[in-house]
A and B are shown apart, each in its own frame.
Chain A
């Protein structure tokens, strides 16, 4: 029993300094505190943050570009150039005309019925162009019927329509419907323009 105690005590005496001296790197000495090293460490952290921030910004930019490319690819897949037809609405009105809605029919089929908010009308009056329809049509002759409703000066309600027969060729077809009162003052009408 006494022998075991001696052995235990001996093991404790031998092993404890070794345990204290053992570190991850095997180096027995403690690092000394150095103020200049601490400030260098902080500067290093700041540089790391700046690099990280820059990396994040680059990644964000990459994601945005990828999103844009995917959108374009999707549009090309869904609406290939050889069958693509796009119809746009714009406004060129001198006096106040509050557009309410535009309906579009292609080959007697309702393809769009868009209600315009005040903000959207304001954007159109300032020169904006709205893509009201994007679809696919086979080559050949097609009929487009467009009807717009709104309120003109003196709170007078307007409802005007236009029928256009257009030829769809090989490439994409773009048609712009401009609501204009230039031809007849205070009488908004559709002016049709086919883009080349």
Chain B
């Protein structure tokens, strides 16, 4: 019997809130420092379309991992804006993977459909990948270059102020 959505959503929120409480701004900075310049940890997750996607198979492309959740308003706003980036630069070798921390696939699917997300949406229900990347706040985006190295960890969503991030993406695409 399917659990009520409210219970599932609440459980997810409590789980992620605990993760966030255990972390703090200082931790975010230190995690960014550890990740940046290091090879991006490999993982495989199932996408909403049913395909399994492995990060290492995208070697050679510039990849942006965006960690989000359906209850995170800033995350949803960022995902919508990232859709424009994807549409513009996907043909030049830009890949975007939206990794959801929600447990309920239907919630993820409904949100992705409502936002008309054109890029793969992956589910990290057991938080394996988010632990791998030590996600302590959301939204957080990890920018990976063509050699599979983490070049930037972007915390939060800078609405209208993402030009510097976009410039970095363009720079990596030119490499």
Contacts and interface: CB of A to CB of B under 8 A. Distances in A.
A100 interface: yes
A99 to B, nearest CB: 10
B52 interface: yes
A1 B102 CA distance: 98
A122 to B, nearest CB: 11
B80 interface: no
Nearest to A120: B54
A113 to B, nearest CB: 10
Interface string B132-146: 000000000000000
A117 B57 contact: yes
Contacts of A120: 54
Interface string A98-120: 00110000000000000111111
A119 B44 CA distance: 13
Which of A115, A116, A120 gathers the greatest number of chain B CB atoms within 10 Å? A115
Q: From DSSP, what is the main secondary structure of chain B's interface residues?
A: strand
A119 B59 CA distance: 13
Interface in B31-49: 44-46
Nearest to B56: A117
A131 to B, nearest CB: 16
Contacts of B51: 117-118
A116 B52 CA distance: 6
Contacts of A119: 57
A101 B51 CA distance: 11
Nearest to B43: A115
Interface in B49-68: 51-54, 57
Nearest to B52: A115
Interface string A114-149: 011111100000000000000000000000000000
Nearest to A121: B52
Which of B44, B45, B52, B53 gathers the greatest number of chain A CB atoms within 10 Å? B52
A104 to B, nearest CB: 16
Nearest to B46: A115
A115 B57 contact: no
Nearest to A114: B44
A119 B54 CA distance: 10
Contacts of A100: 52
Contacts of B54: 115, 117, 120
Interface of B: 44-46, 51-54, 57
18 contacts: A100-B52, A101-B52, A115-B44, A115-B45, A115-B46, A115-B52, A115-B54, A116-B52, A117-B44, A117-B51, A117-B52, A117-B53, A117-B54, A117-B57, A118-B51, A118-B52, A119-B57, A120-B54
